[in-house]
Amino acid sequence: MKVIHLSVECFPIAKVGGLADVVGALPKYQRKLGIDASVVMPYYNRPFVTENALLNIYEGSFSQGDEILAYTVWKEQYDTLGFPVYLIYIEGKLDRPEVYCYPDEAEQWIAFQHAFLDWIVNTDNKPDLINCHDHHVGLVPFLIKYAYSFQSLAGIKTVFTVHNGQYQGWLSWDKAHLLPSFDGYHGGLLDWDGVINPMATALKCCDRYTTVSEGYLEELFVEANGLQDLFKHERAKAIGIVNGIDVEFWDPAIDQLLPLNYTSTTVKKGKEQNKKIFCEKVGLPFDIPLLSYIGRFAFEKGADLLPELIREMYSLNENKIAIFILGSGDDIIQGEIANIIQLYPNQVSVFFGYNESLAHEVYAASDMLIMPSRVEPCGLNQLYALQYGTIPIVRNIGGLKDTVIDIDHDNGYGFVFEELDIKNISLTINRAISVFNIPKSLESIRGKAMKLDFSWDKSAKKYVALYNQLLK
């Protein structure tokens, strides 16, 4: 079975968040199951394209509005990621250093999808199934059915994976002329609330849709940034499959980014030493529990709550906890975090920006990881934390609900709170600190956490079962 994962992110080529981690791992685990899985993504002007040998495998062109766009499909020659990767290059559109936030995003992603389909329609080696990831490639299930040039592809099955239902790729109808010409009778499939909505289009036109956890799927039926009724209407096509982790990159026993490797049997010493080195590096005290936050500074992640939470923690808990924050995003949130750390320079430290290798060190060094999310489709941070013996303190929502069990329940290994209320969150953190101060409890909870299996092996099988169902 030949499957193409179509995405605008893929670790380590271009990563902004969890989408990249999934697309950079899932095909590898599917290949272990005998699936011919590969990734097609935009070409980015990033180190990967200069550090690896690329083969020019196809050149073509198409018109987009008034422009004729020439494109090249490059294949990374040696499958260094464990699966074939194809990069689509278009000068001025798909040759940029960053993934998002360009003013012509609509033109960029339409061009990517158009070039992809133009290539596929002209190649003999067609996929049996295309797994489209998020709204950037949400028009593909529509275009293979109703765009005149691509109707020969209509037999290819499509799965649409929703990594984040908040972002839908809205574009106004006056951009419709940029799309490959399509049968106008079906144009309504592009529309939601008077604009072209690629996520809605994908939900309507795909053969199946998946969400990155079961808990998130249930939540999307209730609130999906305006698409809840559509998610519900299409629910017969839906399945929630929780993300896994790529244990080739995320395993403290072999992680080359850590000062010291450790396993579940050496976790006490291993974490102690990683913490010592890390705390010296970032100027934090080493002999009190270390709580960290890693993530985008976005409202959905609850990052705006961090300053108030820090204030509350130190009003109750002077000197009993150290806090480290690694993140970037919203400038206002960033400014407020910068202000608050000036009040507690000996207890709170921060790195503003994206730093993959620092993230590994943080997971290993921290005692606890906080995730006060408003929306959390799956969440990978809590899975990495558990794998590194770091105890997650999370809100009971989305994928966090599916993957973290509070220690007050049988087999619990984390701390869970319901409401996003600062007092409530700080009480939960205090509950965690008291467990941490009892060495036997700490040892037991870490042991349980590190024995959990969130590797991709299980979830990759569920995707493959879904593909088999569609193709039988």
Interface with ligand ADP (CB under 6 A): 17-19, 21, 294-296, 326-328, 354-356, 359, 378-381
89: which strand partners? 72
Helices 356-365, 267-282: inter-axial angle, 10-degree rounding: 130
Instruction: Using the minimum distance from each CB to ligand ADP, give the nearer residue, 110 or 369.
Output: 369
Q: Nearest approach, Cβ of 371 to ligand ADP (angstroms)?
A: 8
Q: Nearest approach, Cβ of 362 to ligand ADP (angstroms)?
A: 8
Instruction: Using the minimum distance from each CB to ligand ADP, give the nearer residue, 96 or 296.
Output: 296
The residue count of the chain comes to 472
Instruction: Using the minimum distance from each CB to ligand ADP, give the nearer residue, 259 or 329.
Output: 329
SS (H, E, C) the chain: CEEEEECCCECCCECCCHHHHHHCCHHHHHHHCCCEEEEEEECECCHHHHHCCEEEEEEEEEEECCEEEEEEEEEECCCCCCCCEEEEEECCCECECCCCCCCCHHHHHHHHHHHHHHHHHCCCCCCCEEEEECHHHCCHHHHHHHEHHHHHHCCCEEEEEECCCCCCCCECHHHHHHCCCECHHHHHHHEECCEECHHHHHHHHCCEEEECCHHHHHHHCCCCCCCHHHHHHCHHHEEECCCCECCCCCCCCCCCCCCCCCCCCCHHHHHHHHHHHHHHHHCCCCCCCEEEEEEEECHHHCHHHHHHHHHHHHHHHCCCCEEEEEEEECHHHHHHHHHHHHHCCCCEEEEECCCHHHHHHHHHHCCEEEECCCCCCCCCHHHHHHHCCCEEEEECCHHHHHHCCECCCCCCCEEEECCCCHHHHHHHHHHHHHHHCCHHHHHHHHHHHHHCCCEHHHHHHHHHHHHHHHHC
Instruction: Using the minimum distance from each CB to ligand ADP, give the nearer residue, 205 or 449.
Output: 449
C-alpha closest to that of 398 among 381, 412, 410? 381
Q: Nearest approach, Cβ of 356 to ligand ADP (angstroms)?
A: 5
Distance CA(365)–CA(447), nearest Å, equals 16
Q: Nearest approach, Cβ of 227 to ligand ADP (angstroms)?
A: 18
- Cβ-contact 261, 339 below 8 angstroms: no
Q: For the chain, report the end-to-end CA distance as a whole number of angstroms.
A: 11
Q: Nearest approach, Cβ of 10 to ligand ADP (angstroms)?
A: 13
Instruction: Using the minimum distance from each CB to ligand ADP, give the nearer residue, 203 or 298.
Output: 298
Instruction: Using the minimum distance from each CB to ligand ADP, give the nearer residue, 84 or 399.
Output: 399
Q: Nearest approach, Cβ of 334 to ligand ADP (angstroms)?
A: 11
Q: Nearest approach, Cβ of 174 to ligand ADP (angstroms)?
A: 31
- Cβ-contact 255, 249 below 8 angstroms: yes
Instruction: Using the minimum distance from each CB to ligand ADP, give the nearer residue, 196 or 391.
Output: 391
| Residue whose Cβ sits closest to ligand ADP | 18
Instruction: Using the minimum distance from each CB to ligand ADP, give the nearer residue, 107 or 134.
Output: 134
Q: Nearest approach, Cβ of 166 to ligand ADP (angstroms)?
A: 9
- Tokens for 111, please give them: 């061009």
Distance CA(129)–CA(5), nearest Å, equals 9
Instruction: Using the minimum distance from each CB to ligand ADP, give the nearer residue, 198 or 295.
Output: 295
Instruction: Using the minimum distance from each CB to ligand ADP, give the nearer residue, 300 or 312.
Output: 300
Q: Nearest approach, Cβ of 387 to ligand ADP (angstroms)?
A: 12
Instruction: Using the minimum distance from each CB to ligand ADP, give the nearer residue, 396 or 430.
Output: 396
Q: Nearest approach, Cβ of 79 to ligand ADP (angstroms)?
A: 23
Instruction: Using the minimum distance from each CB to ligand ADP, give the nearer residue, 54 or 362.
Output: 362
Q: Nearest approach, Cβ of 386 to ligand ADP (angstroms)?
A: 13
Q: Nearest approach, Cβ of 355 to ligand ADP (angstroms)?
A: 5
